[in-house]
Amino acid sequence: MAAVLAFIESHDGKLKKSAGEVMGQAQRLAGSLGGGVDAVIVGAGVAGLADDVAALGADRVFVADSDAFGTFTIDGFTPAVMLAVTASTPKLVLLAASVSGKDLAPAVAAASSSAILTDVTEIEAADGKVSVVKPVYAGKALAKVSATSDTVVATIRPNVFEPIAPEAGKSATVETLDVGTPDIRTVIKEVLAKASEKLDLTEADVIVAGGRGLKDPANWHLIEELAESVGGVVGASRAVVDAGWRPHEEQVGQTGKTVSPKLYIAVGISGAIQHLAGMRTSKCIVAVNTDPEAPIFTVADFGIVGDALEVCPVLTEELKKLRS
């Protein structure tokens, strides 16, 4: 019996960064939960990644490899993970709170009658029980919650926990899961506007977000160029999303995405309560705004009082120099 079963995500034939974050916490908690760490990986052509998962310290790696798993679906992935749960009988199933993890975790919790703790920023185990800190009200408060059930499913917020480094030479028992032909009722007909190789905002290391201070959607290229110069992903304030400048999937805030990148650059964003709630846990916040009294400066580590249209291009040039 394992103490923790870690769900490992991959993309384009490589483990995602979240794999190291999940495995790091799985190993730290396993001892207190009285057992080892198993891992499960589900996908199309993922069998070859079992060694990479072993290098992160799993005792056993369960592999569900099928063309049916080329795209994440709740109907496809849940039974595959449940096979691993049945074989592993863990106290804790640990996943990343990624787009797929947020769909998969509740389905696994329901299927295994486990308590579910979502998007946690701290997690501990003592006396066989799991307790977490979880932001609520989009981070306006933190809830300390403990599970009183025997089994728990938890998702950890991306970019919060230190990823564990792989150690070559670590090995694991690899077990292939017999998944048969899953009955996927949500039939994917096509995928539109494939957002190139862009990361989801919630998993990005660097975010450059723009607001009304850009004055006109025609100036949005300044935000995109700044993001490009620093290898970041573009975000937006609610004001510019509501105004139709930007799509809603770019919105940061309580009614958009809650993010905690290493670096968050807010350009022309004044900092409404609901926006601050969605980004205040970023490790370093930079703000550029014309109004020195703007609330965004109360959470910014570094601020520049100035016009976004003037500051943005200069900052982009300086950052480009660093990279070249």
Report the distance separating Cα 20 and Cα 17, nearest Å.
6
Q: By CB under 8 A, tell whether 34 contacts another protein.
A: no
Q: Which of 118, 237, 260, 270 binds another protein (CB under 8 A)?
A: 118
State the binding string over 240-259 for another protein (x if CB under 8 A, else -): -x-----xxx-x-xxxx-x-
Which one of residues 92, 125, 160, 285 is an interface residue with another protein (CB under 8 A)?
A: 285
Binding to another protein (CB under 8 A): which residues in 216-235?
230
Stretch that binds another protein, among 23-31, 40-48, 55-63, 192-200 (CB under 8 A): 192-200
Candidates 188, 215, 217, 291: give the one binding another protein (CB under 8 A). Answer: 188
Asked if 269 touches another protein (CB under 8 A), the answer is no
Q: Which is nearer to another protein, 170 or 320 (CB)?
A: 320
Measure Cα distances from 231 to 113, 139, 225, 228, 310 in Å: 41, 26, 10, 5, 21
* Contact status: 17 vs another protein (CB under 8 A): no
Q: Is 137 in the site for another protein (CB under 8 A)?
A: yes
Biggest alpha carbon–alpha carbon distance for the chain: 61
Q: Choose, by CB under 8 A, the member of 17, 28, 102, 212 that binds another protein.
A: 102
Is 103 within 8 Å of 75 (Cβ atoms)? no
By CB under 8 A, tell whether 99 contacts another protein.
yes
Please list every residue from 70 through 89 that binds another protein, using CB under 8 A: 71-72, 74-75, 78
CB 279, CB 188: distance < 8 Å: no
